[in-house]
Structure 1
Amino acid sequence: MPNVFIYNKPFELENGKTLPVLKLAYTTYGKLNSDGGNVIWVCHALTADSNVDQWWPDLYGQGRLLDYKEYFIVCVNFLGSCYGSTGASSSEVPESLKRKNFPLVNIADIVKAYQLVKAHLNIKKIQLLIGASLGGQQALHWAVHYPNQIKKLCVLATNAFHSPWGIAFNASQRFALEADKSFRDNEPEGGKLGLKAARSIALLSYRTSKIYNLSQSESSNEKQNHFVAESYQNYQGQKLVERFCPYAYYAISKTMDSHNLGRGFSSVKKALQRIEAKTLCVGIKSDILFTSDEQRYLAHYINDADFIEIDSIYGHDGFLVEGKIINNLILKWFNENPNL
């Protein structure tokens, strides 16, 4: 069921800025057992929300990985998002920090906020912490900095630090938002045209040329304009505009760019070696944004980790589209060595 956790105290961000109050929307499924340990915690990706049953339906339900009859499933809309949690356009944020002036929220801040929800729910141990993409970055940070809280960890299509390639894509999207005068003027309803353009850029990193060439091809050799692929980009951009805050999107892209597990350690490798959870790293062969090599890197340096690669034509979006395959392979892995 959906809930909102309110922290009525100043919440200090890692960069020194302070939010006067913190709101975190979260959804739970199932019941917490008496020892507070039958927990699966899901960290969601960039534009998702806490309703994991809706955006990952192939993994949710009885007999599947997210089995609400067996486990207490938790998903929190992360700090900085716009689905009920404190973000760039939230009413509780002071005007000086609103919209394009919203301060950097990094992965450490998000995980620090999760600790408040964890304590509020009286969770003692997490049986499985799972996340993909930006959600995987959160799960990895959690496993590095709070290693004794997690028994098993599964990350999909993510990385130990955001790559220059990924940062370049995000910067290009921010350039699109900044080109929108209403965004630059910090208007309450500003940035919609910029967000539409940014989403179009993002889609090219989420998918592959193969799937575009298969699904957006023309039926006539005579067409010279109004192409199917152009209509698709327009549709997807407008679809996001109707459900997401441009200022939140801008801020979250910076959150992703700031991700680096090596911060505060002598190296990224040393940080990964702090993870105590048995870990599964899932790569998607055609993913150009979070490459399979990045998942192999994680599996190599985490002490007890397995690596599996999915062969999908959907690129990065494969972690959503290939839900049935993902459910089956993670469920099989999760059910092995159940007493860990």
Structure 2
Amino acid sequence: MNLNSPLLEIEDKSRVFHYEDRYLLESGEDLAGFQIAYTIYGNPEALDSHVIWINHALTGNADVHEWWSGLVGEDKFYDPKQYKIICTNLLGSCYGSTNPLSSNPETGKPYFYQFPQLTTRDMAGALEKLREHLGVEHIHTLVGGSLGGQVALEWTYQLGSRLDYSIIIAANAKSTPWIRGFNEAQRMAIQADCTWGEEIAEAGKSGLRAARAIGMLTYRHPDTFQQSQDDMEEKLDNYKVSSYLQYQGKKLADRFHALSYWVLTKAMDSHDLGRGRGGTERALQGIKAKMLTVGIDTDQLFRKEESQYISENCLDGKYSEISSSYGHDAFLIEYEQLHYILKSFYLYTENGK
């Protein structure tokens, strides 16, 4: 089979997987079934040896070729003419997967604040249910950044020898007090919204705007703000950075909802690969896939040392670094560097290094 043939039709289909059985969660709670929205993009004839599975970050969706267009797309690094590319909307997110605004099958009403606590391990387990449903016996490469990287690392451990390559970008093996602190500050902003607690879809919307503004201070580096938001003229109010953060807050609140944001940041806080497995070092040593971790030199949220820690403790790990003034968000921006890093990693491993 010639995977590079221009005659092959390229699939780009959004689908929904329905899991009908009761799904037990780490908290001891359960979901009476769930659904996950996912997209298959690429060569419909591709073998499992050409399956690329990509996880999105905190507020992303399953349309990976939209938010990672520099790496996924025709004639890009992950080319749908060569690969079958699968991307899912993580459990708890509001882009087609079961989330707090979904109907609870047991009551017929939205979950709202009764939605159970999710962990990154629960999210990875849901992806495993989807893999089994799709009949994908083996995955060539699993990729994830930020929250998606945390979930990808959890799933890497669970997949064992069913996975060849794991690429974890700007993530860690266990959430730090620093990350949990920023997430708590964002949730406090949501709680301060007078609509929080009401059983309406718009609950916490103004608070979510403030939460996003707080988050933006961790997604970028101070140098980025200095370069793009500094006021050249003298003034006493109405600074550029104020309007920028107001805009970013409104932009997210108009496309996302506070209840999902709450659940997903709580899941990020819960992340601990070593929980119940003898600690993170021991868990990392149990990973069978070839591991690449990518840190960002200016990342203030997921520090590069945390990425290094993962690769150093895996049996077959390699670390690479993005140099950028963009901070944590660099993995969504610095495509040329990522292209070089990914290409070098595959060549490195294929040569038996």
TM-score where L is the length of structure 2: 0.92
- C-alpha distance in 1 between matches for 2:233 and 2:252: 30
1:149 has 2:162 as partner = yes
1:274 pairs, out of 282, 286, 289, with: 286
Partner in structure 1 of residue 4 of structure 2: none
Question: Which of 230, 240, 244 is the equivalent residue of 2:256?
Answer: 244
Map 1:300-311 onto structure 2 (within 5 A).
300-311=312-323
Is the alpha carbon distance of 1:240 and 1:34 closer, same or farther for their aligned partners in structure 2, counting shifts above 3 Å?
closer
- For 1:163, which of 176, 180, 189 is the aligned residue? 176
Give the corresponding residue for 2:267.
255
Contact 2:311–2:318 (CA<8 Å) still a contact in 1?
A: yes
The sequence identity of aligned pairs, in percent, is 38
Equivalent residue for 2:146, pick from 109, 133, 139: 133
Q: Distance in 1 between matches of 2:148 and 2:118?
A: 14
CA distance in 2, matches of 1:186, 1:324: 45
- Please name the residue that 2:209 is paired with: 196
Higher mean alpha-carbon deviation, 320-329 vs 173-182, is at 320-329
Which AA in structure 2 matches 1:105? L
Question: 1:51 aligned to 2:56?
Answer: no
Instruction: Choose the corresponding residue for 2:195, options 157, 161, 182.
Output: 182
Question: Contact 1:157–1:284 (CA<8 Å) still a contact in 2?
Answer: yes
SS of 2:292 mapped into structure 1: strand
Amino acid at match of 1:153: S
Alignment equivalent of 1:69, drawn from 59, 71, 81: 81
- CA-CA distance at 1:63 after TM superposition: 4.0
Shift of residue 219, structure 1, vs aligned partner: 2.6
Indicate the RMSD between aligned Cα atoms, in angstroms.
1.7
In terms of mean alpha carbon deviation, does 241-250 or 177-186 score higher?
177-186
Unpaired runs of at least 5, structure 1: none
Q: Residue by residue, what CA displacement relative to the aligned partner does 1:220-275 show, whole Å, maximum 9, x if unpaired?
A: 11x11111100000000000000001100011000000000110111210000011
| Higher relative contact order (CA closer than 8 Å, sequence separation 6+) | 1
Map Cα deviations across residues 282-301 of structure 1 (whole Å, 9 max, x no partner): 00000010001101111110
TM-score (norm 1): 0.95
* Local SS of the residue matching 2:195: helix
Say whether the 8 Å CA contact 1:38–1:125 is kept in structure 2: no
Q: Residues 105 and 6 from structure 1, CA distance in 2 versus in 1: closer, same or farther, beyond 3 angstroms? A: same
Query: Aligned pair count?
Result: 339
Match of 2:225 in 1: 212
Label 1:236 to 1:37 Cα distance change in 2 as closer, same or farther (>3 A).
same
1:50 is paired with a residue of what secondary structure? coil
- SS of 2:173 mapped into structure 1: coil
Unaligned runs of 5+ in 2: 1-12
2:113 matched to which residue of 1?
A: 100
Check 1:35–1:188 CA distance in 2 against 1; reply closer, same or farther (3 A cut): closer
Query: What's the CA shift for 1:139?
Result: 1.1
SS of alignment partner, residue 91 of structure 2: coil
Q: Distance in 1 between matches of 2:245 and 2:119?
A: 29
Query: Letter of the aligned partner of 1:177 in structure 2?
Result: I
